[in-house]
Amino acid sequence: MIEYGVFIVLGVFSGLIAGLLGIGGGLVVVPILLILFPLIGLQDTGSLVHLAIGTSLATIMFSSLASIYTHHKHGGVLWPLFTKIAPGIILGSALGASVAHYLPGDILKKIFGVLEIILAINMAFGKQPAANRNLPGTIGLNGLGLGVGAVGSIMGMGGGALTTPFFMWCNVAARNAIATSAAIGLPTALAGAAGYVITGWNAPNLPAWSLGYIYLPALLGIVIPSLFFAPIGANLTHKLPAKTLKRVFAVVLVVFGINMLVH
C-alpha cells in the first residue's frame, strides 16, 4: 500500500512542477513509475516503459488543464502563439505514439535518460538570447510543433521542457514562455495519450486495469492531487525567481537521467 501512496505524492510533485515550470511533469513521472511498477507486482513483459509513458501523458491532460486556467487568469498564456503551434503539436504527438509502440523499452529508456540530461544542462546554464532574436513565422512554428509533439509523445512529457527554453531563446518573457508551454502540454497529452490507448489496445500481457498503455490505478492516484497542486505551482510562477527554480529542477533531472541510463 505504501507504493500506492507514492502515486499520490508523485501527483503532488508533478502538479507543482507542471504549474511552476510549464513542463507537464512527465520528466519525473516516467522514471518514478518505472521504479514503482515492479514494486506493486507488475511484471516487465517488455511493455512497462510504454505503460509508464502512456500513463504519464494521461496525467498531463488533467494537470495541464488546471495550470492553464491559473496561468490564463494571470494573463500569461500567449494564445496567438498557441494557435500557431498547436496543429503541428497534435500531428507530431499522434505520430510519436505510433513510433514509440515499435521501439523496445530499453531503447526508450536510454533516449529518455539522454534527453533529461541535455534538458537539465540547458535549463541550468542556458545563455541569454540575442536581443534581436524573434519567434519564427507560422510555418516554422508548425514545424517546431511537429517535432516537439513527436518527442513529447515518445518520451511521455507535455513538451514544455522543449518549448519553454526555445521561447525564452526567442526573447519571450519567462513567465509567458512557461504559461504558454503549459497550454501546449494539453494537445500534446491528448493526442499522445489517445495514441498510446490505440497502439496498446491489443498489446499482450498488460496488467489488469490497463487501458491500452495507460495504467488506470496510477493515473487516478496521480491526477487527483495534481489537480489541486498545479494551480498552486502556476501561482508560484508569478512570485518566485525562475532562475533558482530552474537550477534546482535541473539537478533533479540529472539524477533521474543517470538512473534511466544505468538501470
Q: How many residues does the chain have?
A: 263
pLDDT of residue 197: 95
Retrieve residue 228's grid coordinates: 489541486
Q: Residue 24 pLDDT > 70, yes or no?
A: no
Higher pLDDT, 158 or 2: 158
The region of weakest confidence among 86-90, 202-206, 220-224 is 202-206
Retrieve residue 247's grid coordinates: 537550477
Specify the amino acid at residue 263.
H
Q: List residues bridging with 210 in a β-sheet.
A: 215
**DSSP 3-state assignment of 42?**
coil
Domain region containing 25: 2-262
Please tell me the total count of domains within the chain: 1
**In angstroms, rounded to a whole number, what is the distance separating the alpha carbons of residues 63 and 68?**
9
pLDDT of residue 240: 72
Please state the pTM of the whole predicted model: 0.85
**In angstroms, rounded to a whole number, what is the distance separating the alpha carbons of residues 173 and 114?**
28
97-128 pLDDT, tens digit each: 888 888 887 788 788 788 878 877 877 776 66
pLDDT of residue 139: 92
Sign of the torsion formed by the C-alpha atoms of 3, 112, 147 and 76: positive
Cα-Cα-Cα-Cα dihedral of 39, 256, 6, 22, to 10°? -140
- Which backbone phi and psi does 14 adopt, to 5 degrees? -65, -35
- Which backbone phi and psi does 239 adopt, to 5 degrees? -130, -30
